[in-house]
Structure formats: C-alpha cells, structure tokens
Amino acid sequence: MKQEALFLPTIVSIKEIRQEIPLVATFRLPKPDGFTHKPGQFLEVSLFGKGEVPISISSPPSYEDILLTIRNSGYVTSFIHKLKEGDKIGIRGPYGNSFPYEEYKGYDVLFVGGGIGLAPLRSLLWEMLYHRDDFGRIILLYGARTPADLLYPWQYEEYERKGVELLLTVDRGDEKWTGNVGVVTTLFDKIKIEPERTVAYVCGPGIMIRFALRDLVEKLGIPAHNCIATLERHMKCGVGKCGHCVIGEKYVCIDGPVFRYPEIKMMERFDDPW
C-alpha cells in the first residue's frame, strides 16, 4: 500500500461489520491498491480526533478483503465499535514481521489460542487451509472464559470439514456445555503428536502464552525453536519510534510481534514480555 508519509493513514470505507461475540466485532475493509500482507502482521487503525490502535489482521493474504477483529476494550476501540457499514476509517501498514510457515511445509501444525488471540492465528490458519496439501495434521486448541466468549463459532464446522482437529475448552461452562472445562493447556493431555515434526503457534492472554509455551516444550517435547508466539500488547506507534514496546534490545512492533520461544526467554531477562 502506497503511503505519502510514515504516519499518514489510508482512508477506506467499512464494507461489513459482523458482531462476533459481546464486545468483539469483525470489520471488513477493502484492500487499498497494492496492499499485501503476511500472516501475523498488523495494521494501525485510526479515527481522526480519537487516535489509533494496532490491530492484527485476521484474514489470510489470499482473501479478497481485509478482516480486522477488534475488541471494544479502550478509548479508541470504543469509538470504532460505534461505526457503521459505509463509515470511513484510517489504516496504515501492514507492519511487523510475520509467522514463519513456509519452512514448515510438511510439518504437523498445532495452534494454541485463548480468547481474542484466535484472531491473528486465524490469518495463518486460513492461509494453510488454502494450501492444505502443503501441511500435515492441523490441530486447533482453543479456549475462552465461557461458551459465549468462544470466537468465530460459525466457522468451526468448516474448519473440521477442511481437516482441522478442533478441541475447545472454557474456564466456566453453562447448562449446555458438554466439552472440556479448564484452561487451554489442559487440552495438551488430550492430543498425541510427533513433537519433532510439529510446529506450534500461540496467541492469547500473556499469562496463557507464558504457560502454553513452557508446556509445549517441557510436556509435549516440541523443540523450543518451533514454538512461536505473537506478543502484541506492548505496541503503540507500530514503527519503532515511540519506544513504547521496547523489551531489552527488541522493539516488539518492528522486530516482532512474532517471536520464537528462545527469543521470548531472552526478552524475559530484561522485562515482562507477557
């Protein structure tokens, strides 16, 4: 996407808004001319007079439009959630690195998501489904606080039709829930994998990422180098200027937000990356 200045957004009209779950909606935007992205990258999304926020892209590169799944969790996002289809919104980017996945063709793939952390993983999941024959098993372990908080439930059947092994869990069930109850790492005991030929991608709340990465290595035996997470909560400007996301020698917004577990462990020596 062409940009005349570093912080100048491109203005686009919202094509569609889907209310996913309470406080979380997906905004469908047209791709500006020349726009391309990779799974794991993010956009800076802005409203004039309100500010901007970094939002991960939840659509795969092969999809015709841009999908942004946004939680109403702050000042700027509260105004974004008041927008209607046809309203204008600013975007700049994409920024950041991306999930490494080309090198894992032929591997089994394990996704571990919590809450709205499924949104950035969705971009990579669908890109892999568009190239299904390039990968082995695809397993998605996903958890949320309650059944009503599970993101994208309308897509679960399609995931399974395309060969995704889907296991769900919630922290607290309801009268209709018959599935697993517990944090997402409790699902690790319910799968059998070949750790040496498995790559894992993780996103969710910081505390979830921390223990999921640890257990992927120590309990499931996946090599640490093949355990990959995206750390987004520290980012602000998106281009390494404000210093808001610096941890040690790393800028999360330009060196990340995607890091391998050994890199995250190094960052942990300087500050809390979670």
In the DSSP assignment, the letter for residue 133 is G
Single pTM value for the model: 0.93
pLDDT of residue 1: 55
The set of residues, in sequence order, having a beta carbon less than 8 Å from that of 178 and lying 6+ positions away, is none
Rounded (10°) CA dihedral 47, 53, 57, 58: -90
Q: CB-based burial of residue 238 (10 Å sphere; 0-12 exposed, 13-18 middle, 19+ buried)?
A: buried
pLDDT of residue 4: 62
pLDDT of residue 242: 83
Which of 103, 46, 98 is closest to 77 using CA atoms? 46
DSSP three-state, residue 163: coil
pLDDT along the chain (274 residues), means of 10: 74 98 97 96 95 96 96 95 97 95 97 96 97 97 97 97 97 95 96 97 93 96 97 79 82 90 84 68
Rounded to 5°, the CA angle 216-265-222 comes to 20
Please give the backbone phi and psi of residue 143, each rounded to the nearest 5 degrees, phi first.
-135, 155
Only one residue has tokens 């640890």, namely 214
